[in-house]
């Protein structure tokens, strides 16, 4: 395995990581807090409800307990919600389903031990970041794909109505866009819309 020239940013930034721990005050919670403090994170604890996340929360560690399965966390699953690492006490299907719903990249088994927490945090943060940037990339691709489709439709309309070659039709769209100081997909969209309006 090749080693990176420099320590990954995720590890270097751990000391400024804000961690919210949603966990009842018990032995596991104490173990978690002590280890998070050894690692040097900024920690806040609450249980069982948390209606709004404190700002700059970079990670949530959440106990999955039967008594809290019905609690609604409105910030979960939104585009701004941070990664969640579940602390798992049971392995029954209900609990596992709850874990899966959280879209977790790492889990912490109960009873909590100090060893393993740092790795779980590093994996969760890294995979979360990768997944977010993949989502953004896909979104951009989809938008681009939609634009390409509209431009192709508009080109086809110009070709048919003016008897032009594909290349000439495209160049016409392009020069119109430059003239109006618009993006080519905007001009193309107008043409497609106008064509659809005319041909009821």
List contacts with other proteins (CB under 8 A): 3, 5-7, 11-15, 34-35, 37-40, 114-115, 118
Residue 36 φ then ψ, to 5°: -60, -35
Least CB distance to other proteins at residue 6 (A): 6
Which lies closer to other proteins via its Cβ, residue 68 or residue 118?
118
Least CB distance to other proteins at residue 62 (A): 22
Which lies closer to other proteins via its Cβ, residue 16 or residue 183?
16
Least CB distance to other proteins at residue 79 (A): 29
Least CB distance to other proteins at residue 115 (A): 7
Which lies closer to other proteins via its Cβ, residue 12 or residue 140?
12
Which lies closer to other proteins via its Cβ, residue 37 or residue 186?
37
> Comparing C-alpha atoms, which of 133, 139, 138, 128 is closest to residue 82?
128
Task: Dump the DSSP string for 103-115.
Answer: T-S--EESSP-ST
Q: How far apart are CA 135 and CA 122, in angstroms?
A: 20
**Residue 86 in 3-state DSSP?**
strand
Which lies closer to other proteins via its Cβ, residue 117 or residue 188?
117
> Comparing C-alpha atoms, which of 38, 33, 30, 44 is closest to residue 14?
38
Contacts of 180 (CB under 8 A, 6+ apart): 187
Least CB distance to other proteins at residue 59 (A): 15
């Amino acid at each position: 395995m090749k080693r990176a020239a420099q320590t990954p940013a995720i590890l270097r930034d751990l000391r400024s990581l804000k961690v919210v721990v949603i966990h009842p005050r018990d032995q596991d919670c104490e173990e978690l807090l002590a280890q998070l403090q050894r690692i040097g994170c900024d920690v806040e604890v609450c249980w069982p409800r948390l209606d709004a996340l404190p700002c700059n929360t970079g990670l949530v560690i959440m106990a999955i307990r039967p008594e809290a399965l019905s609690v609604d966390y409105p910030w979960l699953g939104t585009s701004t919600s941070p990664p969640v690492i579940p602390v798992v006490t049971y392995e029954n299907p209900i609990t596992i389903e709850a874990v899966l719903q959280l879209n977790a990249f790492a889990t912490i088994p109960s009873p909590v031990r100090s060893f393993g927490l740092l790795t779980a945090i590093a994996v969760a943060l890294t995979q979360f970041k990768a997944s977010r940037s993949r989502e953004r990339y896909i979104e951009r691709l989809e938008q681009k794909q939609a634009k390409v489709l509209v431009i192709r439709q508009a080109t086809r309309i110009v070709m048919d109505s003016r008897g032009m070659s594909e290349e000439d039709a495209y160049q016409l769209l392009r020069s119109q866009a430059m003239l109006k100081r618009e993006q080519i997909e905007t001009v193309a969209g107008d043409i497609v819309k106008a064509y659809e309006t005319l041909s009821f």
